[in-house]
Amino acid sequence: MARGPELFKLDHVTQRFRLPQGDVTVLNDVSFTAAEGEFIAIVGPSGAGKSTILRLISGLLKPSQGQVIYKGKPLGQTNLEAALVFQNFGLLPWLTVAQNVELGLEPRGLDRAARRKRVATYIAKVGLEGYEEAYPRELSGGMKQRVGLARALAVEPEILLMDEPFSSLDALTSINLRDELIDIWSDRDFPVNTVVMVTHMIEEAIELADRVLVLSSRPGQIAGDLQIDLPRPRDKRDKAFSEYVDKIFSLIA
Protein backbone atom coordinates (compact mmCIF):
# COMPACT_ATOMS: atom_id res chain seq x y z
CA MET A 1 0.00 0.00 0.00
CA ALA A 2 1.30 3.40 -0.90
CA ARG A 3 2.54 5.60 1.87
CA GLY A 4 0.25 8.64 2.00
CA PRO A 5 0.53 12.00 3.75
CA GLU A 6 1.03 12.21 7.50
CA LEU A 7 -2.04 11.25 9.54
CA PHE A 8 -0.87 11.64 13.11
CA LYS A 9 2.27 11.90 15.12
CA LEU A 10 3.39 11.52 18.70
CA ASP A 11 5.66 14.41 19.55
CA HIS A 12 7.98 13.71 22.50
CA VAL A 13 5.21 12.07 24.50
CA THR A 14 5.82 11.10 28.12
CA GLN A 15 3.04 9.44 30.11
CA ARG A 16 3.00 9.09 33.87
CA PHE A 17 0.35 7.50 36.02
CA ARG A 18 -0.27 8.35 39.63
CA LEU A 19 -0.59 5.16 41.63
CA PRO A 20 -0.93 4.73 45.39
CA GLN A 21 2.64 3.41 45.47
CA GLY A 22 3.91 6.51 43.67
CA ASP A 23 4.25 7.85 40.16
CA VAL A 24 5.00 5.40 37.38
CA THR A 25 6.41 6.51 34.06
CA VAL A 26 4.89 4.31 31.39
CA LEU A 27 6.13 6.04 28.27
CA ASN A 28 9.29 8.11 28.11
CA ASP A 29 9.80 10.61 25.30
CA VAL A 30 8.16 8.60 22.50
CA SER A 31 7.98 10.15 19.03
CA PHE A 32 6.84 8.67 15.76
CA THR A 33 4.84 9.65 12.71
CA ALA A 34 2.19 7.57 10.97
CA ALA A 35 1.19 8.01 7.36
CA GLU A 36 -2.24 7.49 5.89
CA GLY A 37 -2.69 3.93 4.66
CA GLU A 38 -0.07 2.42 6.92
CA PHE A 39 -0.59 -0.75 8.93
CA ILE A 40 1.58 -0.30 12.03
CA ALA A 41 2.11 -2.97 14.64
CA ILE A 42 3.47 -2.08 18.06
CA VAL A 43 5.25 -4.92 19.86
CA GLY A 44 6.99 -5.06 23.19
CA PRO A 45 7.01 -6.83 26.53
CA SER A 46 4.05 -6.39 28.84
CA GLY A 47 4.10 -3.13 30.72
CA ALA A 48 5.90 -1.33 27.91
CA GLY A 49 3.00 1.07 27.42
CA LYS A 50 1.69 -0.37 24.16
CA SER A 51 -1.95 0.08 25.06
CA THR A 52 -1.21 3.53 26.43
CA ILE A 53 -0.12 4.63 22.95
CA LEU A 54 -3.47 3.53 21.51
CA ARG A 55 -5.35 5.38 24.24
CA LEU A 56 -3.34 8.50 23.51
CA ILE A 57 -4.17 8.37 19.81
CA SER A 58 -7.85 7.83 20.61
CA GLY A 59 -7.82 10.82 22.95
CA LEU A 60 -8.87 8.78 26.00
CA LEU A 61 -5.66 9.85 27.68
CA LYS A 62 -3.90 13.19 27.57
CA PRO A 63 -0.11 13.00 27.56
CA SER A 64 1.66 14.16 30.71
CA GLN A 65 4.23 15.82 28.46
CA GLY A 66 4.45 16.33 24.72
CA GLN A 67 1.64 16.32 22.18
CA VAL A 68 -0.37 14.04 19.99
CA ILE A 69 -0.85 15.77 16.64
CA TYR A 70 -3.73 14.49 14.54
CA LYS A 71 -3.98 15.84 10.98
CA GLY A 72 -1.81 18.77 11.91
CA LYS A 73 -3.79 19.78 15.01
CA PRO A 74 -3.10 18.92 18.62
CA LEU A 75 -5.63 16.43 19.94
CA GLY A 76 -7.76 18.01 22.66
CA GLN A 77 -10.58 15.56 23.29
CA THR A 78 -11.85 12.15 22.26
CA ASN A 79 -10.75 11.45 18.70
CA LEU A 80 -13.95 10.67 16.83
CA GLU A 81 -11.97 9.70 13.72
CA ALA A 82 -10.43 6.75 15.52
CA ALA A 83 -12.13 3.52 16.56
CA LEU A 84 -10.86 1.05 19.12
CA VAL A 85 -10.99 -2.76 19.18
CA PHE A 86 -10.33 -4.25 22.62
CA GLN A 87 -8.58 -7.38 23.80
CA ASN A 88 -11.53 -8.33 26.00
CA PHE A 89 -13.96 -7.01 23.41
CA GLY A 90 -15.43 -4.20 25.58
CA LEU A 91 -18.97 -5.17 24.61
CA LEU A 92 -21.83 -4.01 26.81
CA PRO A 93 -23.54 -7.16 28.11
CA TRP A 94 -26.98 -5.50 28.29
CA LEU A 95 -27.03 -4.53 24.61
CA THR A 96 -27.73 -6.89 21.70
CA VAL A 97 -25.21 -7.41 18.91
CA ALA A 98 -26.99 -4.83 16.75
CA GLN A 99 -27.20 -2.31 19.59
CA ASN A 100 -23.52 -2.79 20.40
CA VAL A 101 -22.59 -2.16 16.77
CA GLU A 102 -24.83 0.91 16.75
CA LEU A 103 -23.16 2.40 19.83
CA GLY A 104 -20.90 4.88 18.03
CA LEU A 105 -23.37 5.95 15.37
CA GLU A 106 -25.75 8.13 17.34
CA PRO A 107 -23.00 10.44 18.63
CA ARG A 108 -21.96 10.94 15.02
CA GLY A 109 -25.39 12.31 14.17
CA LEU A 110 -26.71 9.53 11.93
CA ASP A 111 -30.50 9.29 11.80
CA ARG A 112 -32.31 6.09 12.59
CA ALA A 113 -32.60 4.80 9.01
CA ALA A 114 -28.94 5.46 8.25
CA ARG A 115 -27.94 3.77 11.50
CA ARG A 116 -29.94 0.66 10.69
CA LYS A 117 -28.37 0.43 7.26
CA ARG A 118 -24.85 0.83 8.60
CA VAL A 119 -25.42 -1.78 11.29
CA ALA A 120 -26.75 -4.30 8.77
CA THR A 121 -23.85 -3.67 6.39
CA TYR A 122 -21.13 -4.21 8.93
CA ILE A 123 -22.77 -7.13 10.68
CA ALA A 124 -22.84 -8.78 7.26
CA LYS A 125 -19.24 -7.79 6.60
CA VAL A 126 -17.99 -9.67 9.67
CA GLY A 127 -20.31 -12.60 8.97
CA LEU A 128 -22.71 -12.31 11.86
CA GLU A 129 -26.03 -12.23 9.99
CA GLY A 130 -28.74 -13.87 12.04
CA TYR A 131 -27.14 -12.90 15.35
CA GLU A 132 -28.39 -9.30 15.41
CA GLU A 133 -30.67 -9.85 18.39
CA ALA A 134 -28.30 -12.11 20.36
CA TYR A 135 -26.65 -10.89 23.55
CA PRO A 136 -22.83 -11.01 23.87
CA ARG A 137 -22.97 -13.73 26.54
CA GLU A 138 -24.57 -16.05 24.00
CA LEU A 139 -21.63 -15.75 21.58
CA SER A 140 -18.26 -17.48 21.40
CA GLY A 141 -15.06 -15.49 21.81
CA GLY A 142 -14.43 -15.25 18.09
CA MET A 143 -17.94 -14.02 17.45
CA LYS A 144 -17.63 -11.44 20.21
CA GLN A 145 -14.50 -10.05 18.62
CA ARG A 146 -16.35 -9.89 15.29
CA VAL A 147 -18.93 -7.72 17.03
CA GLY A 148 -16.12 -5.56 18.40
CA LEU A 149 -14.65 -5.26 14.91
CA ALA A 150 -18.04 -4.46 13.35
CA ARG A 151 -18.65 -1.79 15.99
CA ALA A 152 -15.33 -0.15 15.18
CA LEU A 153 -15.73 -0.41 11.40
CA ALA A 154 -19.33 0.85 11.48
CA VAL A 155 -18.27 4.36 12.43
CA GLU A 156 -16.10 4.29 9.26
CA PRO A 157 -13.12 5.75 11.08
CA GLU A 158 -10.01 7.14 9.47
CA ILE A 159 -7.93 4.97 11.71
CA LEU A 160 -8.52 1.63 13.36
CA LEU A 161 -6.82 1.07 16.72
CA MET A 162 -6.58 -2.54 17.84
CA ASP A 163 -5.43 -3.53 21.31
CA GLU A 164 -4.26 -7.16 21.19
CA PRO A 165 -7.39 -8.06 19.24
CA PHE A 166 -6.57 -11.74 18.83
CA SER A 167 -5.03 -12.52 22.23
CA SER A 168 -8.14 -13.83 23.95
CA LEU A 169 -9.10 -16.09 21.05
CA ASP A 170 -8.10 -19.69 20.43
CA ALA A 171 -5.46 -20.37 17.76
CA LEU A 172 -7.78 -21.42 14.93
CA THR A 173 -10.23 -18.59 15.46
CA SER A 174 -7.50 -16.01 15.53
CA ILE A 175 -6.00 -17.30 12.25
CA ASN A 176 -9.39 -16.95 10.55
CA LEU A 177 -10.03 -13.51 11.93
CA ARG A 178 -6.55 -12.30 10.93
CA ASP A 179 -7.15 -13.40 7.35
CA GLU A 180 -10.48 -11.61 7.27
CA LEU A 181 -8.93 -8.47 8.70
CA ILE A 182 -6.36 -8.45 5.89
CA ASP A 183 -9.17 -8.88 3.36
CA ILE A 184 -11.15 -5.99 4.78
CA TRP A 185 -8.08 -3.78 5.01
CA SER A 186 -6.93 -4.39 1.44
CA ASP A 187 -10.44 -3.80 0.05
CA ARG A 188 -10.07 -0.55 -1.88
CA ASP A 189 -13.71 0.50 -1.45
CA PHE A 190 -13.26 0.44 2.24
CA PRO A 191 -12.72 3.82 3.87
CA VAL A 192 -10.50 2.59 6.70
CA ASN A 193 -6.96 2.07 5.55
CA THR A 194 -4.80 3.11 8.48
CA VAL A 195 -4.41 0.58 11.27
CA VAL A 196 -2.41 0.64 14.50
CA MET A 197 -2.33 -2.72 16.23
CA VAL A 198 -0.78 -3.59 19.56
CA THR A 199 0.37 -7.16 20.06
CA HIS A 200 2.82 -9.14 22.11
CA MET A 201 3.14 -11.79 19.41
CA ILE A 202 6.02 -10.93 17.12
CA GLU A 203 4.92 -13.28 14.34
CA GLU A 204 1.48 -11.77 14.27
CA ALA A 205 3.01 -8.32 13.87
CA ILE A 206 5.23 -9.39 10.96
CA GLU A 207 2.43 -11.26 9.28
CA LEU A 208 0.05 -8.31 9.26
CA ALA A 209 1.94 -5.03 9.36
CA ASP A 210 3.86 -2.80 6.95
CA ARG A 211 5.84 -1.42 9.78
CA VAL A 212 6.69 -2.67 13.26
CA LEU A 213 7.50 -0.39 16.19
CA VAL A 214 9.41 -2.13 18.95
CA LEU A 215 9.00 -0.79 22.48
CA SER A 216 11.45 -1.46 25.29
CA SER A 217 10.26 -2.23 28.78
CA ARG A 218 9.25 0.25 31.46
CA PRO A 219 9.45 3.09 30.87
CA GLY A 220 8.49 2.41 27.25
CA GLN A 221 10.81 3.83 24.65
CA ILE A 222 11.06 3.15 20.94
CA ALA A 223 13.80 0.55 20.54
CA GLY A 224 13.29 -0.09 16.85
CA ASP A 225 11.24 0.95 13.81
CA LEU A 226 11.23 -1.64 11.04
CA GLN A 227 9.71 -1.57 7.59
CA ILE A 228 8.44 -5.06 6.64
CA ASP A 229 9.06 -5.53 2.94
CA LEU A 230 7.47 -8.90 2.31
CA PRO A 231 4.83 -9.74 -0.30
CA ARG A 232 1.41 -10.81 0.94
CA PRO A 233 0.20 -13.37 1.84
CA ARG A 234 3.17 -13.92 4.09
CA ASP A 235 4.49 -17.30 5.07
CA LYS A 236 5.94 -17.92 8.52
CA ARG A 237 8.26 -20.60 7.16
CA ASP A 238 9.84 -18.10 4.78
CA LYS A 239 13.50 -17.37 5.51
CA ALA A 240 13.07 -13.60 5.29
CA PHE A 241 10.14 -13.85 7.71
CA SER A 242 12.20 -15.59 10.37
CA GLU A 243 15.01 -13.10 9.91
CA TYR A 244 12.56 -10.35 10.85
CA VAL A 245 11.50 -12.41 13.88
CA ASP A 246 15.10 -12.79 15.04
CA LYS A 247 15.81 -9.14 14.52
CA ILE A 248 12.82 -8.00 16.61
CA PHE A 249 13.65 -10.55 19.29
CA SER A 250 17.13 -9.15 19.60
CA LEU A 251 15.71 -5.61 19.86
CA ILE A 252 13.41 -6.58 22.73
CA ALA A 253 15.89 -8.73 24.63
The answer to whether 145 contacts another protein (rule: CB under 8 A) is: no
Tell which residue, 141, 119, 139, has the closest CA to residue 131.
139
The answer to whether 87 contacts another protein (rule: CB under 8 A) is: yes
How far is 32 from 49, CA to CA, in rounded Å? 14
| Stretch of 6-14, 104-112, 199-207, 222-230 lying at the interface with another protein (CB under 8 A) | 104-112
The answer to whether 70 contacts another protein (rule: CB under 8 A) is: no
How far is 87 from 166, CA to CA, in rounded Å? 7
The answer to whether 86 contacts another protein (rule: CB under 8 A) is: yes
Least distance from C-beta 239 to another protein, angstroms? 39
The answer to whether 194 contacts another protein (rule: CB under 8 A) is: no
Least distance from C-beta 12 to another protein, angstroms? 16
Tell which residue, 105, 149, 107, 104, has the closest CA to residue 124.
149
The residue from 17, 33, 92, 243 that contacts another protein (CB under 8 A) is 92
Which whole-number Å values give the CA distances from 173 to 127, 143, 178, in the listed order?
13, 9, 9
How far is 91 from 67, CA to CA, in rounded Å? 30
Angle at 81 between CA 80 and CA 85, to 5 degrees: 85
Number of residues near another protein (by CB under 8 A): 34
- Alpha-carbon Rg for the chain, nearest whole angstrom, is 18
The residue from 33, 88, 186, 250 that contacts another protein (CB under 8 A) is 88
Strand partners of residue 103:
none
The answer to whether 135 contacts another protein (rule: CB under 8 A) is: yes
Distance of CA 183 to the CA centre of its chain: 16
Cβ-based nearer residue to another protein, 155 or 251:
155
How far is 182 from 209, CA to CA, in rounded Å? 10
Cβ-based nearer residue to another protein, 93 or 233:
93
Least distance from C-beta 90 to another protein, angstroms? 4
Binding interface with another protein (CB under 8 A): 55, 58-60, 73-74, 76-80, 82-84, 86-95, 103-104, 106-108, 135-137, 151, 155
